[in-house]
Structure 1
Amino acid sequence: MKPNDQELQEEQDILDAFEAGALKPVDNPEAMKLAHQQAAGNTFKKDARLNIRLSSRTLRALQKMALAEGIPYQTMIASVLHKYAEGRLVPSDNETRG
């Protein structure tokens, strides 16, 4: 997926902090790495199955979008649903008016 403006700004902030020498190493990098790996594994654990009916037109549109992003369409759909459930993806004004 392409980075959005917020992600680009965060990357620039990290680069600026690095270049300014403001970043400090962690005390135990291996333990920190392991903790982050476990958190990521728990976050993205797929332990439930969902069957959903879509129109073939909608499915084709989703497949085309995923192809353009270079990811499997089921992965893209799961990502969109996850972001929506976490409150990081909200409908536009047009979609909420019905």
Structure 2
Amino acid sequence: MFDAEEMAILNALENDKLVQSIDADEEIALARKAAKEYLSKSKNITIRLSLGDVTTIKNKAQETGIPYQTIISSLVHQYATGKIRLEA
């Protein structure tokens, strides 16, 4: 049924003597840090865009003062997170 370790845990639980073996707050902080680092990493890719689209985006980027790569990245992120959708 239960092995010795499981019985010790069950007995501690039933006698209100169960003690955490880890620092849960520290574990949560480590998990959050790992998730934030993962999500903040970027990956260089190669993509083919029409010359007209690139020129238009570069012109709009110059008007707004935002780098054109940032605009393209933002659009991809907004699509990936469902904030914008493509029409079929």
Normalising by structure 2, what TM-score?
0.52
1:1-98 pair list within 5 angstroms: 39=36, 42-46=38-42, 48-91=43-86, 95-96=87-88
Higher relative contact order (CA 8 A, sep 6+): 1
Normalising by structure 1, what TM-score?
0.47
The letter of the residue matching 1:53 is R
Percent same amino acid at aligned positions?
A: 34
Whole-Å separation in 2 of the counterparts to 1:54 and 1:88: 22
Q: How many corresponding residue pairs?
A: 57
Cα RMSD between the aligned structures?
2.4
Q: Which consecutive unaligned segments of at least 5 residues does structure 1 have?
A: 1-34
Whole-Å separation in 2 of the counterparts to 1:62 and 1:85: 19
Runs ≥4 in structure 1, deviation > 2 angstroms? 41-45
Q: Which consecutive unaligned segments of at least 5 residues does structure 2 have?
A: 1-31
